[in-house]
Structure 1
């Protein structure tokens, strides 16, 4: 997506050839009483093969706040252009008030203000540092697309996605956004507020922001570092609409997406393609009334990187898919069919298959049945190796079904003594599978033999579910502490509060358990591009984050396993009961609203996927081989 970032102004019509052109804009602060003339405007280009941003033009705002800046010959088809506008009167000792905005290349004009700056700071958080914006496709242009959900680029008003259902008045995202704009308004009016903002933004960082754009990018990356101090700042200016009524534990911005509003029902997990599109499996047939019994979903959904639903696919034996979804190296998408159905469903799924789709959404597995080879039995998690071997965890039997090279006719069934096999992850050298009811984890060689001869067990594992590998081949395990599944029999479960554990790359050395960070009932787990850990909780509406093995990427002086998120977690009232989660190439953390907070068993499914904007280090997806 070709976009232009304007940290300060309105935009002229796009050059039809996508080459350069001047940009006209206006500095229009939200807060009353702010000067608009004499702002220093500079245009920058980013995204050229991931090189640091380079300045391509400059200007100054006139007495009405208007300006025109020349973009030179930069190609907006290949690069992201942004403009910074810095308020007059600053000095080297004080962080400058700077406005920011991201603007599509075809926009006819844009207003720059506090809202556009907050939106740009969060959307571009993972690409923004002391040298400005630095990144490449697809992450950088996709981040610009997410920005448009937060703010209207041409008017500087709140974005349509932020202000409408399933966001708007239904969650705390809009009041949070408003309070953030109030913080920036305070800085625009008072240099003391700018100093306080810089202090808060760098509370757990050695890098003090040089302007407010970078300050809010730092807050997005470490949103709990000085939450109370930021809230106090937000109260110093009366916003144009209600902000937060109390200090949050963390200044995260999260948006919900429900597609067409009549399809998502129990989204379970995610797979992301190299373009950053988000593919989602779905537990149940959609039902608006949770008291009406619903059967298993036969749909697979595709969302664009900005959260817009762009595809619905069926066939191939899809039948109440649960947690398993993964692309193979060639770009084919595999989905496991656990066979979810609500109480009272008269057409129970078969619980014994996986489905296969092309990247275009065409079903490639047999209609009606899917692939059933290898004694599949209530399959849940799956992962696929670089060789194309498809590994499936069978919850009912505790076995693991492998399709070597993705060929069901060569199916192997492995029995490692797990009870309720659930999570699967390929580390690059091993495949790791969790056993919920056995409180154990099996580490397999690619030939199907067990590393160490037996599954790992001990106090580090308590009803483990999701497993995730970091960039170094270490594996993080989500200990639910209290969850077992009906596959179809549900064992009695009890245990301590949830935690996570770490298995080193050798597949044998275990450390933990680690707790805190708001962790309650872990289900899914993932790592970001830095190897830091994020956990989806099946209760209490929060995400938990932990420092990974590359501790230099963690805020402050944290060690491996220490919580990054606060004691309340990254809480959001737009979450329900969460299962799968994943980090995209733009640094957004996506999480599945799987079950409602109070689930009626006739149809317990939640109806949204949620993006925490700019929260995690981007994860690049390698190109498919064909």
Structure 2
């Protein structure tokens, strides 16, 4: 998926507000029955009367125009009723915009696609300024009364931030539908309050996200009921983009560039403390980090993530779950499948197929089959000998049925498998961290698996395929990267460019490879142990001298590395790495509680004046969150959410060092199609 140019959400949507009333028609046989949706528009506890409320069906396609379904005007007590017919498509996403008097107008689209003239968005407006509030109706059961307020607006702005364009809100399945559903994890459209997912553990008062979300709502309230609209729009304006003209678009712009003017926006939000609890200090960035823990007693040491065609997250689990870090745990025997909204998929977690202590290796192939690498992770004190259990792969059907035998798939020289990747032909690859090469499984046929020795590679770890189906593999043990042709022929060994204890690798749309250099982390295979990894990780502090070499290396598609690595953006023990749909680069860190974001090779997706590798996230802190622990896997889903695996606790105990959550940065990245091939 390529970049969506510009955020023209409200300009286009307001263009439809002048559409005339629907003609009266008889109900066709089999047509949906008329539906009445009641609702109320509020700012905090204050009803907002005389708001023009419009119900839309989001466009089905990247540039499709949304369709007006109903319109009403709120009464003095803020209430309204929308009479409409539910679309035939059960996947249709419906949302409401409430536009207060004084909001500007552009040329307005009618229901038949023609336009009528309206006032210029830049024209005069009342002291409240152009105010547009929003709420998602589709994606969850409609409440008896729909509340539209600043909280529901922030939920829409973040969850749907990547589905905007000249025609309005539009997108394809499953990204748009999943994004609409996730909006209900942030705000409760039946009450206007914080949604249960955000309000309760592992979120709630355990992290600062709930307070941050309320502060963002207060920021919009400063415009809705105050006189701060011009200040809000000036601060929210992204470099190189048009100034937002209403509250919804301002919130979308903040979601796209959360580190821009963060402190100034916080100061403005404090002028309208309508929603509590709120932040007491300015954040480094306005990223909204939401934690998932599945059923609450299954995630322990999540290693890496892969998405299927529906946007479900398949997750490896290092350890058997136990909430007590002092209790010795053996290797995880459960493969997780988490829905986009954070629940277990039907029948999940899945067991069998030789699964034991899976690590960083997981992929979903062209058929929707999930593969996991059995590394043999376990805590100190587990009585099981992991040696016979760390030399196999496990394979599962889309419904969780194990397709590998009880001892796992052992063909092709599997040895402590870590990074995995699959290509468009169905070929599956795995890096053998405990060996000297990779295993290639053509067409996913394990009987044809073969080992490809790579003498120039020690501790093969990260693996990624590029658009030409070539494989890139990192060598954590000798600061190198190996490039292989699709048939497995070794093409080039890459050294230099700042490669130092490299871990994950990702490729962009131009065939370039991006490598996360941990600098000091030895992966626990081929002679190194988990104790070595823990010692290196705990030695890193805020002093850069304690984590030398923490960086990202760009290797061009011809195998030539950039002479110098990239070192800013909040990099702190880089591990997982991914490239989003705009070719910008995201990096997880095994320390520092932060995510880094770097400008990629497509400079049009970066702030003006940025160069390739220059940080987009704040240089000193990255995008920090107290919801993050020690992160390994990082992936981007079809809705533009950045998923991270809280693999280890900040202070790990060797008996059970595992973390217990997945963390999503909501709507932070350009969406990526799934599965990642």
Q: TM class by shorter-chain length?
A: over 0.9
Task: Please tell me whether the aligned partners of residues 19 and 76 of structure 1 are also in contact (alpha carbons under 8 angstroms).
Answer: no
Q: Runs of 5+ in structure 1 lacking a partner? A: 1-5, 9-15
Cα deviation digits, residues 477-498 of structure 1 (max 9, x gap): 1111111112152298796241
Aligned to 1:204: 239
Among residues 438, 445, 466, which one is paired with 1:400 in the alignment?
438
Separation (CA, whole Å) in 1 of partners of 2:32 and 2:606 = 39
Among residues 363, 379, 391, which one is paired with 1:326 in the alignment?
363
Cα deviation digits, residues 559-591 of structure 1 (max 9, x gap): 211111112111000110000011111111110
Shift of 1:77: 2.0
Shift of 1:73: 6.7
Q: Does 1:560 align with 2:612?
A: yes
The SS at the match of 1:232 is: helix
Task: Please tell me whether the aligned partners of residues 47 and 140 of structure 1 are also in contact (alpha carbons under 8 angstroms).
Answer: no
Task: Please tell me whether the aligned partners of residues 38 and 144 of structure 2 are also in contact (alpha carbons under 8 angstroms).
Answer: no
Task: Please tell me whether the aligned partners of residues 462 and 495 of structure 1 are also in contact (alpha carbons under 8 angstroms).
Answer: no
Among residues 448, 458, 482, which one is paired with 1:410 in the alignment?
448
Separation (CA, whole Å) in 2 of partners of 1:540 and 1:623 = 28
Aligned to 2:458: 419
Cα deviation digits, residues 194-222 of structure 1 (max 9, x gap): 11111122142412223211211111111
Among residues 405, 418, 421, which one is paired with 1:383 in the alignment?
421
Aligned to 1:11: none
Aligned to 1:12: none
Separation (CA, whole Å) in 2 of partners of 1:510 and 1:364 = 42
| 1:169-248 alignment, distance < 5 Å | 169-191=205-227, 193-248=228-283
Q: Does 1:569 align with 2:631?
A: no
| 1:544-555 alignment, distance < 5 Å | 544-555=596-607
Task: Please tell me whether the aligned partners of residues 497 and 562 of structure 2 are also in contact (alpha carbons under 8 angstroms).
Answer: no
Among residues 445, 463, 471, which one is paired with 1:431 in the alignment?
471
Q: Which 4+ residue blocks in structure 1 deviate beyond 6 angstroms?
A: 491-495
Shift of 1:344: 1.1
Separation (CA, whole Å) in 1 of partners of 2:159 and 2:102 = 28
The SS at the match of 1:299 is: coil
Shift of 1:413: 1.6
The SS at the match of 1:544 is: strand
The SS at the match of 2:267 is: helix
Task: Please tell me whether the aligned partners of residues 238 and 257 of structure 2 are also in contact (alpha carbons under 8 angstroms).
Answer: no
Task: Please tell me whether the aligned partners of residues 118 and 180 of structure 1 are also in contact (alpha carbons under 8 angstroms).
Answer: yes
Task: Please tell me whether the aligned partners of residues 306 and 676 of structure 2 are also in contact (alpha carbons under 8 angstroms).
Answer: no
Aligned to 1:23: 37
Q: Does 1:336 align with 2:373?
A: yes
Among residues 350, 354, 357, which one is paired with 2:396 in the alignment?
357
Separation (CA, whole Å) in 2 of partners of 1:119 and 1:98 = 13
Separation (CA, whole Å) in 1 of partners of 2:436 and 2:359 = 16
Distance 1:511 1:475, change over 3 A: farther
Task: Please tell me whether the aligned partners of residues 32 and 85 of structure 2 are also in contact (alpha carbons under 8 angstroms).
Answer: no
Aligned to 1:97: 131
Q: Does 1:472 align with 2:510?
A: yes
Task: Please tell me whether the aligned partners of residues 316 and 358 of structure 2 are also in contact (alpha carbons under 8 angstroms).
Answer: yes
Distance 1:436 1:558, change over 3 A: same
Q: Runs of 5+ in structure 2 lacking a partner? A: 1-12, 18-29, 105-120, 537-545
The SS at the match of 2:220 is: helix
Task: Please tell me whether the aligned partners of residues 500 and 512 of structure 1 are also in contact (alpha carbons under 8 angstroms).
Answer: no
Shift of 1:105: 5.1
Aligned to 1:273: 308
Distance 1:515 1:110, change over 3 A: same
Task: Please tell me whether the aligned partners of residues 291 and 600 of structure 1 are also in contact (alpha carbons under 8 angstroms).
Answer: yes
Separation (CA, whole Å) in 1 of partners of 2:647 and 2:247 = 37
Among residues 84, 95, 98, which one is paired with 1:85 in the alignment?
98
Separation (CA, whole Å) in 2 of partners of 1:276 and 1:459 = 35
Aligned to 2:595: 543
Cα deviation digits, residues 424-459 of structure 1 (max 9, x gap): 00113210000011000000012222224xx10014
Shift of 1:607: 0.3
The SS at the match of 2:72 is: strand
Aligned to 1:374: 412
Task: Please tell me whether the aligned partners of residues 101 and 153 of structure 1 are also in contact (alpha carbons under 8 angstroms).
Answer: yes
Separation (CA, whole Å) in 1 of partners of 2:556 and 2:615 = 19
Between stretches 507-516 and 81-90, larger displacement belongs to 507-516
Between stretches 326-335 and 430-439, larger displacement belongs to 326-335
Separation (CA, whole Å) in 1 of partners of 2:676 and 2:646 = 28
* Number of matched pairs: 608
Aligned to 1:13: none
Task: Please tell me whether the aligned partners of residues 309 and 368 of structure 2 are also in contact (alpha carbons under 8 angstroms).
Answer: no
Cα deviation digits, residues 488-517 of structure 1 (max 9, x gap): 522987962411111222233545411211
Task: Please tell me whether the aligned partners of residues 643 and 662 of structure 2 are also in contact (alpha carbons under 8 angstroms).
Answer: yes
Task: Please tell me whether the aligned partners of residues 395 and 420 of structure 1 are also in contact (alpha carbons under 8 angstroms).
Answer: yes
| 1:479-518 alignment, distance < 5 Å | 479-490=517-528, 496-510=548-562, 512-518=564-570
Distance 1:495 1:166, change over 3 A: closer
Cα deviation digits, residues 124-177 of structure 1 (max 9, x gap): 111134543121221111111101111111111110011000000100001101
Separation (CA, whole Å) in 2 of partners of 1:344 and 1:299 = 20
Task: Please tell me whether the aligned partners of residues 467 and 509 of structure 2 are also in contact (alpha carbons under 8 angstroms).
Answer: no
Q: Does 1:254 align with 2:267?
A: no
Task: Please tell me whether the aligned partners of residues 238 and 253 of structure 2 are also in contact (alpha carbons under 8 angstroms).
Answer: no
